[in-house]
Amino acid sequence: MSEPRVKAELWVSMALRMGDRGGRPGVVLRKGDPDAGGVLVVLHGREGMCVLSQVRDAGGDVAWMRGTGAGAVDQQAVDTYVARQVKFDPDLWVLEFEAPDMLPPFEAKLM
């Protein structure tokens, strides 16, 4: 059974608060649909950046995929990835967090 879906704007607010509480400040780079928008998370690490894309696993639960690949990338690669995804889904939210270890500040199943 999959977990109930939370409105995007509420989830974004939770993620930002968790980031602030954990010393990993975050900002909204792009507001999406407040009810059903998907989420991209840009992480700034020591070695570079990555983008996590919100997906659903086989059971329908929220999971996160490293959209820009397993390794760190530069700002241009992040911008290109985000632009491509927003073109495909204009309802996307884009968040950005400081994450020295390249891990999100919220509980996340990484695929």
| CA separation, residue 98 to residues 61, 101, 104 (Å) | 25, 9, 9
**Has residue 2 got a pLDDT over 80?**
no
Residue type at position 25: P
**Has residue 5 got a pLDDT over 90?**
no
Tokens found for residue 36: 């059903």
Three-class SS of residue 86?
helix
45-72 per-position pLDDT tens digit: 999 999 999 998 999 888 999 999 999 9
- The pTM score is 0.93
**Has residue 6 got a pLDDT over 60?**
yes
| Residue 49 β-bridge partners | 44, 73
Which region, left, alpha or beta, applies to residue 69 given φ > 0 means left and ψ of -120 to 50 means alpha?
Answer: left
Which of 5, 106, 100 shows the shortest CA–CA distance to 56? 5
42 — pLDDT class (breaks 50, 70, 90): very high
> What would the mean pLDDT of 9-14 be, rounded to a whole number?
96
Q: What is the C-alpha to C-alpha distance for residues 19 and 51, in angstroms, rounded to an integer? A: 16
